Amino acid sequence: MVVLVTGANGQLGQSLQFIEKNYPNIEFVFCNSEKLDITNYDNVNAVFNEFIPDYCINAAAYTAVDKAESEPEKAYSINVLGPQNLAKICKINNTVLLHVSTDFIFDGSKTTPYTELDIPNPTGVYGQTKLDGELAIQDIWEKHFIVRTSWVYSQFANNFMKTMLRLASERDSLSVVDDQIGTPTNAVDLAEVLVTIITEHSKRNTEKFGVYNFSNEGQCSWFDFAKKIFEVNNINIDLHSIPTSSYPTPAKRPAYSVLDKSKIKNVFGVKIDSWETSLSKI
Ligand SMILES: NC(=O)c1ccc[n+]([C@@H]2O[C@H](COP(=O)([O-])OP(=O)(O)OC[C@H]3O[C@@H](n4cnc5c(N)ncnc54)[C@H](OP(=O)(O)O)[C@@H]3O)[C@@H](O)[C@H]2O)c1
């Protein structure tokens, strides 16, 4: 079984490389943006002709939430035209497409976890392009799994955890927002879940295509997340909680974006660690 991974240098791409050794029956083909630019149809077509993948995991994305507000065309190209190209070429090759989306497609007005059936209403360019990417895939190719996740961090690439650790080495005190509630997701857990979907799908050949939520269990604010990051790393720092209004950003973020994971647990038998347990594993 051949699994092609786009965006191999990102957090998810590197996490998939990290767990590759656990799956000797899968031949992974990892392509960074130099080998495979998902916005270039001919490039995608050539790579698919070279490797003929059974599954494609799209780990490529434009993820700079604030920068997207001033670069909407670039965000659209990578988050919408890219998935569109992949869906078209997956359809030609009968390749199952696994795509990753985000909690930022929601406006955060709910106070209970978002299910796959809740109506999206993005508050920024990044969320809108991720939603449009989902819709593009759904329009073109039915053999897809879209996994929505939130607050991804890992030992790889850039993320909130690494920013906190860097800032702690430069400063004595830090202020972090305490009124945005969500769930951190260890990218390695996300990688494992994507491969579980592939192995379950290939074993049972049951077609459970569609949209799924996945994050770690529990919920917290960015302040709680930062506090735990410093705790598990034995770092003493003067940490202050502030409201979002004291930390204005170009992109408006959802105040609440916890995801309900019932569907992925029921369909694929996935067991999910709490965000605290998963953070301690790194
Ligand atoms: N990070 C989060 O907090 C978060 C939260 C919710 C959902 N997600 C979703 O989770 C998925 C994985 O995110 P991540 O955190 O692993 O992202 P990431 O670390 O930012 O990595 C994205 C990768 O995409 C690559 N890329 C950009 N443009 C490309 C193109 N045209 N063709 C091929 N590759 C391209 C980048 O390559 P270069 O390095 O060469 O530019 C980068 O390696 C994404 O779909 C993201 O939207 C992320």
Q: Is the CB of 151 under 6 A from ligand 1?
A: yes
Cβ–Cβ under 8 Å, residues 38 and 59: no
Domain boundaries, the chain: 2-158+185-217+258-274
Q: Is the CB of 82 under 6 A from ligand 1?
A: yes
Q: Which atom of ligand 1 is nearest to the CA of 158?
A: 19
Q: Is the CB of 130 under 6 A from ligand 1?
A: yes
Q: Is the CB of 157 under 6 A from ligand 1?
A: yes
Q: Specify the pTM.
A: 0.97
Distance 100 CA to ligand 1 centre (A): 9
pLDDT tens, the chain, 282 aa long: 999 999 999 999 999 999 999 999 999 999 999 999 999 999 999 999 999 999 999 999 999 999 999 999 999 999 999 999 999 999 999 999 999 999 999 999 999 999 999 999 999 999 999 999 999 999 999 999 999 999 999 999 999 999 999 999 999 999 999 999 999 999 999 999 999 999 999 987 667 999 999 999 999 999 999 999 999 999 999 999 999 999 999 999 999 999 999 999 999 999 999 999 999 998
Residue of 4, 6, 12 best suited for mutating to test ligand 1, as the one with most atoms within 8 Å of CB: 12
Gap between the Cα atoms of 217 and 235, Å rounded: 24
Q: Which residues contact 133 (CB under 8 A, 6 or more apart)?
A: 79, 80, 82, 83, 84, 99, 101
Q: Which CATH superfamily is domain 2-158+185-217+258-274 in?
A: NAD(P)-binding Rossmann-like Domain (3.40.50.720)
Gap between the Cα atoms of 76 and 199, Å rounded: 31
Nearest CA to ligand 1 atom 8: 102
